[in-house]
Amino acid sequence: MIPRRQLLSWVALPIAGNALLYLTYRDWSLWCFRWVEWGGTTGLVKSLRSAAASLGDPGEFVRFSLASGLWILGVTSFLLLVWRPLGKPADASRGTQLYGWIFAILLLCIGSEAAQATGVIPGTADWGDVLAYVAGTSIACLRFGRTDFSLRAWPTTSLQAHLASVLVVGGALLLATGAIFRGAF
């Protein structure tokens, strides 16, 4: 089993921080706010936004790019935790698969910024986001890339690791669709 403390501090908290920054500082025309309306939490989110406004402007990097870095930190940490075998460095095959997942998600994130910069997809390219994606990925890799765990590792097979990766990365990408503006497509 993956240590719960690490799941909380390196996966759940960064992804929650991402969501909090979006709900607090991003434009109400994003799809994620349709989810807020659907969930009946509009009043709560408006109160959060009002409280944050009274604190002043935290700056563009916090309002826009930090959320991206927290998101990829959480996703990459999850991948590293799931793929980490018990008590020894990853064998070559599992290591290649793990870093394939990490590279793919990082490439997708950076590619989306490049696609925005060239007008292929709607949005505003932000190279601060690229920096945040690289920093979040790097922090997770530095933290978990060489760590051996004393607890029984989960999952025990590559198939289970791939399934867990598909579910979490797919869920994280679904969350990321909340960053698309209404009417963008």
**SS (HEC) of 56-88:** CCCCHHHHHHHHHHHHHHHHHHHHHHHHCCCCC
Question: Residue 14 pLDDT more than 90?
Answer: yes
Specify the higher pLDDT residue, 37 or 86: 37
Confidence of residue 31 (pLDDT cuts 50, 70, 90): confident
At residue 62, the pLDDT reads: 94
pLDDT, residue 82, reads 79
> Is 30 part of a structural domain of the chain?
yes
Stated pTM of the model: 0.81
DSSP state of 153: P
Q: Where are the alpha helices (DSSP H) in 13-126?
A: 13-25, 32-38, 42-55, 60, 66-83, 92-117
CA–CA distance, 115 with 134 (Å, rounded to integer): 17
Residue 34, domain member (yes or no): yes
Looking at per-residue confidence, does 7 or 73 come out higher? 73
| Whole-number Cα distances in Å, 146 to 29, 73, 143, 181 | 42, 16, 7, 39
143 in a structural domain = yes
Please check the confidence at residue 176 and state whether its pLDDT lies above 70.
Answer: no
Total count of domains within the chain: 1
Q: Write the pLDDT tens digit of every residue in 117-134.
A: 998 887 788 999 999 999
Residue 22 has pLDDT above 50, yes or no: yes
Domain that holds residue 45: 4-177
Q: Please indicate, yes or no, if residue 37 is contained in any of the structural domains.
A: yes
For the cut 70, the answer to whether the pLDDT of residue 38 exceeds it is yes
Residue 182 lies in a domain: no
Whole-number pLDDT of residue 91: 58
pLDDT number for residue 154: 47
Q: Is residue 142 part of a domain?
A: yes
CB 182 within 8 A of CB 34: yes
Identify whether 184 is part of a domain.
no
What's the average model confidence in pLDDT over 63-81?
92
The per-residue pLDDT for range 136-164, each reduced to its tens digit, is 999 999 988 764 443 344 445 667 777 77
Sign of CA dihedral 91, 1, 158, 10: negative
Q: Is residue 183 part of a domain?
A: no
Find out whether 52 and 24 touch, Cβ atoms under 8 Å. Answer: yes
The answer for residues whose C-beta is within 8 angstroms of residue 15's C-beta and 6 or more apart is 70, 71, 74, 75, 172, 175
